[in-house]
Amino acid sequence: MSTAMDPGARVPAGGMAPDLTVRLGPLTLATPILLASGTCGYGFELTGLVDFTRVGGIVTKTVTRLPREGNPPPRIAETPSGMLNSIGLENVGIEVFLVEKLPRARALPTRIVVSIGGHTVADYVELAQRLTDAPGAAAIELNLSCPNVSGGLDLSQNAAGCAQVVSEVRRATRLPLIAKLTPNVTRVADIAVAAADSGADAVSLVNTFIGMAIDIERRTPRLRTVTGGLSGPAIRPMALAKVYEAARAVTIPVIGIGGIATAADAIEFLLAGATAVEVGTANYVEPGGAAAIAQGIADYLVRHELRSTADIRGGLRLPSE
């Protein structure tokens, strides 16, 4: 990973607009901004609120083999600078997704990355096979790290489990694969390396941190499941550290996730080594904010006379330099 900007990348003031395109293995995105799974439905629900031409892609709500009702309410709780959720992968299932949701999503002027989840390796393999020839599916994000379903972290909290599902899915599909990793491990770099060595084209991190909140008047948990996934600005410094760790360990692209709400937030992740970022909880506050983040990155590049996001990726200047 580069640790300094390339001075040869500078362009004269008034030159061409910076290039925001990025590559995640064989997948090309128009900008480094994606909308994170679980925060934008299947994409088309945000028509009229999001300028999809400024978004590199959307990551759909996680799809499972069979429909899921999700966890019982209450399953969302606001916390300082963030939120806890325990949705439990509520979704329509792969059959309805392919017939009703994906055809509408693929009409959007952006890339559609389909998030898939399962309890077994066989679940992931079957879903990947079903998506391989589905019109509009540009890539697959393997949700290996949902903390809100039974066994949801089993495949991502050790390198062997991650390697098994990635390698099996890699054999089952030619679509680009993104492995979404949990931060709820001792060394996320080990899991990222396992994903890369097993055929992932990119890794995305972090999924939510496990958290909890209590209603002190009722003396009850604020979530029916007691604990849930913490997201939002509160987790950004921790997420940034995990992305930095992973980016130093692998050569495949890293997608940064965690509390990104502004262009400055996104640029921090790019400097830490991310190739792209996903915007999640911020979509609930300002659904159209992702386009503004993309524009803010472009403005930053112009201000620093740089050609593209590649010129800042991994450009963190360490104190020893």
162 catalytic? Reply is no
* CB crowding 170-189: b at 16 or more within 10 Å, else e: bebbebbbbbbbbbbbeebb
Helix 289-303 to helix 263-271 angle, to the nearest 10 degrees? 60
Question: Which residues, 6 or more positions from 313, have their beta carbon under 8 angstroms from its beta carbon?
Answer: 2, 270, 271, 273, 274, 275
Question: Which residues, 6 or more positions from 171, have their beta carbon under 8 angstroms from its beta carbon?
Answer: none
Name the DSSP letter for residue 18. P
> Of residues 116, 146, 223, 267, which has the active-site annotation?
146
If DSSP codes are grouped into helix, strand and coil, which group holds residue 111?
Answer: strand
Using alpha carbons, list the distances in angstroms from residue 51 to 3, 23, 41, 264.
33, 21, 16, 20
Residue 224 and residue 125: Cα distance in Å, rounded? 31
Nearest to 117 by CA among 88, 96, 95, 137: 88
Residue 287, φ and ψ in degrees, nearest 5: -55, -30
In the numeric block, the tokens 């089952």 are attached to 172
Using alpha carbons, list the distances in angstroms from residue 88 to 214, 273, 298.
19, 31, 36
The catalytic residues are: 146
